[in-house]
Structure 1
Amino acid sequence: MTFDNAISWFEIPATDIDRAQKFYEAIFGIEMAKMDMDGYKMRMFPINDPMTGIGGALCEASEFHGPSDKGVLIYLNANPDIQAIIDRIESAGGQVIVPKTLIAPEYGTMAVFMDTEGNRIGLHSIEGVVM
């Protein structure tokens, strides 16, 4: 068995899927695909190749999971400009918790925000990485 990536799929809980979709589309400048199943509403993040890439979605399913500001912290890809995404968070209804911060020259920058659903989410960018 090979282990190319530690993550293969993620779900960000939402209590209002339409509000969450509007927020993430606004901060990332993307369109999310709708995929609803019986009792489970999803909005898919774009992915170039579902067979090799890491995918994820916003999910509204209260009996399955709920928003969290204390659990696992995932970092979404903020390349090529993390600050451009950070600058859209508050106007879209979120809150910046940790501003753009250099991790180390070889690892890039990070930030953390609270989304409209009460989830604590990280951003990571390799901008400025020195090899």
Structure 2
Amino acid sequence: MNSIVYFEIQANDPKKCIKFYENIFGWNFVKQEGLPIEYFRINTSGMEGGMFKRPAEIPPLNCGTNAFTCTIQVENFDKIEQKIIENGGIVAMPKFAIPGMSWQGYFLDTDNNVFGIFEVDRNAK
């Protein structure tokens, strides 16, 4: 628990970006159904990840990192969310179900860095 176990890549053109990672690293992408956005699961033969269309503008060059988002597996989503908020974090995307897999959500830390948490729950709907 509490380890980084998943990463996500945001892309303006996911299909173009998918080809890039397939051609360079041989990663496998599979469209995930049942989510509120178009989403592709990534299998890297190591850590798994996902890709989706960027929901906001790319930060301008020379203005900080434009990077992968890491997700941390937690034992109790609601308990950790409360701790995040109590310690100055902000909800960026509220808790939602990845049907039959887990609960997922995104937050901003005290310096506006985005990170995700998820709780495994095969009954999530």
TM-score, normalised by the number of residues in structure 1: 0.43
Q: Which has the higher strand share?
A: 2
